[in-house]
Amino acid sequence: MATVGQACLLISLGLCGYGAVASVYGARTGRDAFVLSGRRSLFAVAGLVTVAFVILEAAFLRSDFHYTVVATHSSTTTPWYYRLAAMWSSQQGSLLLWVFLLAVWSSVAILLLRGRLRDVAPYATAVQLGLGAFFCGLLVFAAQPFETVAVAPSEGIGLNPLLRHPSMMIHPVMLYSGYTLFSIPFAFVVGALIVRRVDAEWIRATRFFSLAAWLCLGFGIILGARWSYSELGWGGYWAWDPVENASLLPWLTGTAFLHSVMIQEKRGMLKVWNASLVLATGILAILGTFLVRSGILDSIHAFVEEGNTIAWAFTTLVCTLVVISVYLVVSRRNDVLRSEAHLDSMFSREAAFLANNLVLVGVAFVVFWGTFFPLISEALTGKKAAVGPPWFDQYVVPLVLILVLLSGIGPVIAWRRTTPGRLWGTVRGPVIFSAAVGVLLALFTNAATDLQSMILFVVATFAIAVAVHELWRGMRARQLMTGEHAPRALVSLVKRNRRRYGGYIVHIGVSLIFIGVAASSAFQHTRDVVLKPGQSARVGGYTYTYVRPTAKIEQRAGELERITLGSKVRVVHDGKQVAVLSPTRGYYPTNAPALGVLSRYFIGDSTSEVGLKAGWRRDLWIAEQPDISNLLPIVRKGDTVFAKAAAGGVSERARAIFLAQALNGLVARYRQTAPPAQFRIIVSPLTGWIWFGALIVLFGGFTAAWPNAGAARGLSRARYTARVARDLGRA
Amino acid sequence: MDPARKRLIRLVVALTAALLLAGALAYTSFSASSSAVTPSQLLTSAHAGQSYQLTGKVVNGSIVHVGDGIAFRVRDRAGTASVPVRYTGAIPDPFRDGREVIVNVKKDGSTFVGEKDSLVTKCPSKFADPKSTSAQPA
C-alpha cells in the first residue's frame, strides 16, 4: 500500500503542474476544454491525496511499523483515537494533511462556484494547483510519508505524551483548515487582479470561505490555548510563542478583511486595501505553516538541524508570492483598484471600520515584528536577540482597548456621515450602562487596582451593551410589526440578516473573551510550593491541603501505558470544602535501549494532568511535579537484578511476572512513603469566560456564515444563467 | 477646504503617525530584547545585572531540587562548556537531562539566576528533524 500512496502523491504532483498550465492556457486562449481539464485535474488531485491520506491513517490505525513515520510517532499502547492524530504529529503527516485539506476545500470551492466568475475561476484554480504542486513536491522529494523498512520494529516510539489530549486531535486540523480555506479568497483575488475584474463579486463569491477560514482558524487557536492551559503544567493559555503567533497573524488580517469588505460592497471604496489584505492573509497562512514546519525561528532556539531544505523551499514560495502580490496590486492600483467613492466624514461607519482595520493591522504588525525580531536583529546587528511577552503586552493591550471600543461604535454609526450629537443619541444607553458597571466594579471589587483591566472591563461592557441593545431594538420592532413572541421575533430577526446579527453575536463573544483574559491576567494568584502530605498552602483566599499521594499503573491492550503518580488535594474556602483536586503526572515507558528494564518506566517522557475545578467566577487549578528521587536508587538496583537474570537465562514469562511485581512494589512504595512534592497552584478569576466567549464567537460565526435562502436562490440563478450562456455559446 | 487637499493632509498625518509608531516599536524592541547566548559566550562575556537568553542542553545528572526551585547546568549544544543555573517557577513537562532549553538569566556571583517562569523546553509543536524521534503537531 505504501507504493500506492507514493504513486498517488507522484501523480498528484504531475496533475497539479498540468492542471495549473491547462487552466491558464485555457483562460488566455478562450479554450473552455482546457479550463475544464484544469478543473478536473484539481478534483483528481483531491481524490488522489485523499487515497494517500487514508492509506497513511490506516497504517497508523493498525500500527504498521513498516512505515518509518508510524514507528517513530505511534505505538501499540497509543489509544486508537490518538493514533489517528499521531499522523499529523509528524512532519510528513502534517504536510500530507495540509495538501489533503487544500485539495478538498479548493475542490469544494471550485465546484460550488462553478458558473460564477467564469473568467476568474481558471486563474484561481491554477493558483490552488500551484500551491498543491509545492506541497506535493515537498512530500515527494523532501518529507516522504511512505518511506518503509523491510523489517518492522516490534514496537513504535509512541505519540509524545504531551499531545495525548482531545484538543490536539482537532487543533491542527482546524488550524490547517483555516490556512487552506484562506487560500481560496487569496486565489480568487489573484485571478480577479489578473483579469482586472475587481468589483465586489469575488468578495461575495468567496465570503463563505473567508468566514469559514476565520472560524476554523479562530477555533484552532482557542483549542491550542485550552490545551496549553490544561496540559502543559504552567497554567497559562498564551505565551507569545512564535508558533502561536504564526496562527494569530492571518486571523488578525482576516478579521480586518471581513470588516473592510463591507465598505467595498457598500461604497466601492478600499479596493487596494481589501486586495492587499486578502493577499497578505493568504501569504501569512503559508507563513504560519512555514514557521511551524521549517524551524527558521527556532534557529535562535537551536532546535533545528542545519541545512533544512524545507526552510529554503518555503522561503522561496513566500518570497515568490509576495513579489507576485505586490506586482499585481501596484500594477492595478490606478485603474481597476481605483476607489469609486471617498471618505465623506470621520464620523461615519466607513471611518469606524477603517480605524478598526488600522488597529487590527497594527496588532498584526506588532506580532509580526516581535515574532520575527530574532531574524531582524540578526540581520541588522549580527547579534541574535528576542523580545518577551512584556514587550508584546506593552503594544497589544492598548490597541486591544481601542479595538473593543470600536467594535461597540462601528455597528451603530451611520454610513457616509453622522454628527457627534446623533452618535451620542445612539450610544447613550450603552455608555451609561457600562459607566455604571465600571462604578460598581470600582466600589465592590478590586478591579480598579489595575487601570488597563478596569478600562477593558468598561469598554467590553459597552461593546456587549451595544450589541445586545441592537438585538433588542430589532426584536422589539419585529414584535410590533408581526406580533410574534419575543424568542420567535429574535430568531426571525437574525435569520433575515444573518451576517449583521451574527457579527453582533461575535462581538459579544470576543468582548467576553477579552474580559476573561484581562481578569485572569491581572488578578490571578499563583504560587509554587513544596508540600508534604498533610501540609497546606493558602493562595488567593483558598487553602490547598495535600491530603495523600496517589499512584497507579495504567494499562492498554494488555501493555503498560503509563505509571501515574499524583495526589489528592483538598481545597477549602471560608471553612467549607469547595473541591478535591487530583493532579497527576504520567510516566510513559521509553524504548531507549541504553536504559535498564525498570528505568525505562520512570526516565522516559512524562506529562502533567492538572487538577482543575472550573467555575464562572474563578478556576481552581493545580499541577504537581512528584519527586521520584527516592525511587530511583531502587529502580537502578532493580535494573542490575534484571540484567543479571537476563544473563542467567530467565524465561520471558518469569521475567514478566517479576517485572509486574517490581513495578507494583514501586508504586505501592510511592503511595506509602511519598516525599514532598512540588505544586503550582493558581486561582484564576473569569478564565471560564474565555472558553464561554469562544463558544459564543463560534455560534455567531456559524450564524453569519450560514447561507440564507436568498443567497441559495441567487446561486441557483447564477448557475442557470451560466448554463444558458454556455448553451447559447454552443448554438 | 478642497476635498482632495483634505484627503492629502489626512494621508500625510496618518503616514507620519504610522512611521512614528513603527519607529517607537523598532526602538523599544531593540532596547527591550535579550541577547541570545550560548553557555560558552556567557562564560566569557556576561555582565552582572544584564539579562541574557541562554540556549543550550541540560547537563546529564545536573538537575537537583533546591527549596522551591531547581538548580541545573546548561552546556553548549556541541561542546562541554557549561554554566550553573538556579531557577524557580513553572517547569515545562519535557524538561529533563539532555533536553534543549531556553531560559532568561542574569549573572549573580558565580551562578546565573533564571527569570521566574522563563524556562522553555523543546515544545512538541516545534519542528524537529524528521530523523529525530520527537513528536510535532501541526
Cell of A146: 511512505
pLDDT for the residue A384: 79
Q: d(Cα B107, Cα A688) in Å, to the nearest integer?
A: 39
Residue A235 pLDDT exceeds 90: no
Q: Give CA–CA dist A276/A280, Å, rounded.
A: 6
CB A642 within 8 A of CB A659: yes
For residue B117, give the C-alpha cell: 517562569
3-state secondary structure of A305: coil
| Nearest CA-CA partner of A309 in A512, A472, A95 | A95
Write out chain B residues lying below 8 Å of A362, CB-based: 21
Mean pLDDT of A695-710: 86
Residues 444-463 of A with CB under 8 A from B: none
B45-71 mean pLDDT = 85
Nearest to A584 by CA among A316, A233, A288, A105: A233
A449 DSSP 8-state letter: G
Where residue A223 falls among pLDDT bands split at 50, 70, 90? very high
Give, rounded to a whole angstrom, the gap between the first and last alpha carbons of chain A.
48
B-chain residues within 8 Å CB-CB of A293? 127
Helix axis angle, A451-482 to A486-496, nearest 10°: 100
Query: Which residues in chain A have Cβ-Cβ distances shorter than 8 Å to B117?
Result: 234
Which of B7, B118, B127 has its CB closest to that of A294? Answer: B127
User: How many cross-chain Cβ pairs, A to B, lie less than 8 Å apart?
Assistant: 161
CA distance A450 to A522: 7
Residues of B in contact with A295 (CB under 8 A): 126-127
The band of A328, judged by pLDDT with boundaries at 50, 70 and 90, is: very high
As a whole number, the mean pLDDT across chain A is 87
| Least confident segment among A328-337, A497-506, A516-525 | A328-337
Task: Assess whether pLDDT exceeds 50 at residue B114.
Answer: yes
Helix (H) or strand (E) holding B69: strand B69-75
Q: What is the pLDDT of residue B49?
A: 80
Asked if residues A308 and A375 have their Cβ atoms less than 8 Å apart, the reply is no
B41 at A interface, C-beta within 8 A? no
Q: What is the pTM for the complete model shown?
A: 0.88
List pLDDT tens digits, range A593-603. 677 888 888 88
Per the model's pLDDT, the better-predicted residue between A311 and A261 turns out to be A261
Instruction: Round to whole Å and give the CA distance between A708 and A715.
Output: 11
In this predicted structure, the answer to whether residue A311 has a pLDDT above a threshold of 50 is: yes
Instruction: Say whether pLDDT at A77 is over 60.
Output: yes
Tell how strand B111-114 and strand B100-108 pair up.
antiparallel
User: What's CA A350's distance to the chain center, in Å?
Assistant: 30
Model pLDDT, residue B124: 46
Which candidate from A92, A94, A386 shows the least CB-CB separation from B34? Answer: A386
**pLDDT value, residue A124:** 94
CA A485 to CA A483: how far, in whole Å?
7
> Smallest Cα–Cα separation from A188: which of A118, A101, A271?
A118
- Average the pLDDT over A381-410 and give the result: 89
* Residue A730 pLDDT exceeds 70: no
The predicted structure's pLDDT at residue B127: 35
Report the gap between the CA of A141 and the closest CA in chain B (Å).
13
